[in-house]
Amino acid sequence: MRAFPIGIATAVLVCASAFASAADITFHKTLAATGGGNVALHVCTSSGQIHVHGQDGNAIQISATIHKDKWHDIGDAGDMKKIAANPPILQTGNAIHVGDSDTCDGHVYQNIDIDYEIGVPNTANVVAISKSGNIHVETIHGFVHAGTASGDIAANEIGSDSKAKSADSGDARLQTSSGNITATGVRGGVEARTNSGNLTIGGLPTADWTMETSSGNVQFQPDPAAKFSLDVEGGSGKVSSKLSGPVSDESSKGVLRGPVNGGGPVVKIYSVSGNIDVL
């Protein structure tokens, strides 16, 4: 793979944010992608919120707020200062890693939350992982993987209309163990799963979609022009659809199957215990 140079702003600002509490510490760093090719961002935090948004241009802007665990308020202030003084940011070619084993595993820096606000080129590929915290990704046209063990996931205007099947073709993988997933304006393929939470997904499937929840409701709102093959199966909840066309309606048995607008990629929806609504 050809590597392209990225210029790194050498100044790292460590200060108390005007919007944070007096005990919070922030750091900011700006990277400048000067070559071609897509940026690949991998961001992780043991505990905290992650917000990644796409933007025009080649700048990668990273802001972080470090604060004590919101439930216990017992994080070590000295550790917080160590993190801010040496931000866990690593750049190799077009690959940007935010977070390291010390700040993502929670074994070294305990009871400390790190919230990230990151702007990247809208063509970037994004992986965002939080063990405990919400994740929001928007206006990203590359691959998106958002995962949290405990928290909600929101995604807006992600993916692309490309039908090419590759690792960075604009597909999205959204997973949470305990939380809701809401995604609007999605393009490409989608894999959305939660063990305990609701799924609300809308957009234009140009590749296969899978939406699954063990305990929660599913609401699917396809683009009116979308062409896909529907495969819905419910457990103990109700299944309903407002779609017209040759869909085989056995909703009383918890099943909906058939082509929509002539058929296309498979959209599979499953809930063990929850209602399923196709709008």
- Region 83-101: what's the mean pLDDT? 95
Q: What is the mean pLDDT of residues 149-174?
A: 74
Q: pLDDT category, 109, cuts 50, 70, 90? A: confident
Contacts of 195 (CB under 8 A, 6+ apart): 176, 177, 178, 213, 214, 215
- For the whole prediction, is pTM greater than 0.95? no
pLDDT at 14 over 50: no
Whole-number percent of the chain with pLDDT over 70: 84
Domain boundaries, the chain: 23-120
Q: What is the mean pLDDT of residues 167-172?
A: 61
Residues in the chain: 279
pLDDT of residue 75: 57
Residue 244: the pLDDT is: 75
pLDDT digits (tens, 9 = 90+) for 197-253: 999 999 999 999 999 999 999 999 999 999 999 999 999 999 999 887 667 767 678
> Per residue in 22-81, pLDDT tens?
479 999 999 988 666 799 999 999 999 999 999 999 999 999 999 887 655 555 788 999
> Do β-strands 135-140 and 125-132 pair in parallel, antiparallel, or remain unpaired?
unpaired
pLDDT score for 173:
95
Q: What is the pLDDT of residue 73?
A: 52
- Would you say residue 164 has pLDDT above 60? no
